[in-house]
């Protein structure tokens, strides 16, 4: 146990003292600040932008007004005639955002649009305004009851409803969480393999193996680097919770930041940490075995490729099948596959589509898998680190017979 604690503390201290680690930690804190300050920053950018100006030629009998058009968007001018060459010059000089020509042919009206980049929201609003004026013109000419006019002008109200017990833009939060988990597991898992391969190639392993048993050494490295990664995750999530509870940032109602505050509760943060730890252990054990198989760090990129492919395949399965259907069959299946379960269960927790019993069963499956892999690593790792040349998995298995 003493040997394990020495390896663990040494690896942890070395990991947290490196410049890349400190830079990444500082970057995560700055990212949390930027996330909460983003609504105010975007609001300042929107206020600084000039008001868009549009011109419209009305060759119809409709009574359009500049005040009515301004309710659609921007600043409007209704003109009688125009030379297209002058309009093009105004648009090129950014003096004009768009030009519209409304004409009437028999019983049909035609709207010609001249814009460098069509603003669909503006066009839809303009068409709606013209349709409203057209209805008012018909009603006035036909002496229709005003009550009928009011009924015709009553707009349809639509509201997007979430299928699950979470905000619709919580999807972005889920994307962020599983992306962070993917990057952290792949980065720190690869750090485990690199540390083992470096010591093996420098012959330090042969000296260390006389003082520390291989198994405590392996788990000391895995837990030391894992604890360093957890510290970073604690700092990032802690910073988010700190800014949310201090209230020093102005969070607009319905903004993405408000959804982050409502989604990342203390309970959700606890689950994030639990499943991050389990996901890290599942893959870190594989990276440790691979690190003991190669003779130098330069060979790690090809040796760890199967693990990286497995991790990327898990991420792709989450994004393609679980994100949009957290209650589907694929989400239920991947919640019990050890390689995909950490991400799948986390997604379903955010969407509130998983019961507590399912979470417990998934945790037990993953813990059983970690125990199985730990037993395999305990047999394979000592043989691999004592060989100076690179070994294949088949050769390692033969050494354990």
Long-range contacts of 242-251 (CB under 8 A, 24+ apart): 243/32, 243/33, 243/36, 244/36, 249/36, 249/37, 249/39, 249/40, 250/39, 250/40, 251/36, 251/39
Q: The pTM is what?
A: 0.64
Residue with the larger pLDDT of the pair 31 and 218: 31
> DSSP string covering 25-51, please?
HHHHHHHHHHHHHHHHHHHHHHHHSPP
Whether 369 shows a pLDDT value over 80: the answer reads: yes
Domain with CATH 3.40.190 in the chain: 52-153
Class of the CATH domain delimited by 52-153: alpha beta
Q: What is the pLDDT of residue 361?
A: 94
Least confidently predicted of 55-64, 200-209, 301-310, 345-354: 200-209
Whether 163 shows a pLDDT value over 60: the answer reads: no
Question: Residue 45 in contact with residue 88, Cβ under 8 Å?
Answer: no
Q: What is the pLDDT of residue 363?
A: 92
Q: What is the pLDDT of residue 223?
A: 86
Average pLDDT for 312-340: 88
Q: What is the pLDDT of residue 362?
A: 93
The string of pLDDT tens digits covering residues 243-264 is: 877 777 776 666 666 766 666 6
Q: What is the pLDDT of residue 296?
A: 74
The string of pLDDT tens digits covering residues 210-224 is: 666 667 777 788 888
Only one residue has tokens 């000296």, namely 207
């Amino acid at each position: 146990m003493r040997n394990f604690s020495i390896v663990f503390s040494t690896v942890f201290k070395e990991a947290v003292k490196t410049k890349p680690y400190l830079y990444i930690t500082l970057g995560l804190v700055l990212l949390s600040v930027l996330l909460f300050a983003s609504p105010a920053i975007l609001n300042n950018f929107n206020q600084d932008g000039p008001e868009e100006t549009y011109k419209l030629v009305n060759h119809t009998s409709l009574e359009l007004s500049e005040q009515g058009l301004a309710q659609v968007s921007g600043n409007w001018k209704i003109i009688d005639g125009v030379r297209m060459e002058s309009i093009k010059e105004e648009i090129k000089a950014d003096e004009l955002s768009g030009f519209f020509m409304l004409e009437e042919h028999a019983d049909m009206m035609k709207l010609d649009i001249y814009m460098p980049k069509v603003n669909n929201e503006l066009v839809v609003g303009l068409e709606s305004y013209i349709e409203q004026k057209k209805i008012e013109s018909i009603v006035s000419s036909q002496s229709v009851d005003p009550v009928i006019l009011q009924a015709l002008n009553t707009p349809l109200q639509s509201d997007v409803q979430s299928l699950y017990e979470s905000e619709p833009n919580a999807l972005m939060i889920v994307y962020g969480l599983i992306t962070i988990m993917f990057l952290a597991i792949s980065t720190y898992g690869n750090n485990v393999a690199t540390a083992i391969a470096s010591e093996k190639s420098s012959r330090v392993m042969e000296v260390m193996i006389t003082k520390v048993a291989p198994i405590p050494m392996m788990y000391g490295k895995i837990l030391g680097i894992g604890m360093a990664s957890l510290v970073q995750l604690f700092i990032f999530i802690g910073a988010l919770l700190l800014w949310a509870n201090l209230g020093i940032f102005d969070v607009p109602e319905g903004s993405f930041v408000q959804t982050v505050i409502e989604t990342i509760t203390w309970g959700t943060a606890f689950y994030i940490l639990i499943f991050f730890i389990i996901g890290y252990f599942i893959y870190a054990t594989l990276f440790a075995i691979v690190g003991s198989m190669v003779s130098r760090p330069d060979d790690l990129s090809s040796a760890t490729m199967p693990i990286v492919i497995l991790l990327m395949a898990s991420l792709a399965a989450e994004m393609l099948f679980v994100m949009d259907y957290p209650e589907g069959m694929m989400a239920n299946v991947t919640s019990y596959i050890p390689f995909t379960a950490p991400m799948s269960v986390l997604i379903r927790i955010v969407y509130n589509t998983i019961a507590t019993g399912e979470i417990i069963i998934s945790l037990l499956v993953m813990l059983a898998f970690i125990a199985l892999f730990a037993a395999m690593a305990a047999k394979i790792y000592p043989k691999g680190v004592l060989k100076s040349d690179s070994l294949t998995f088949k050769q390692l298995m033969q050494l354990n017979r």
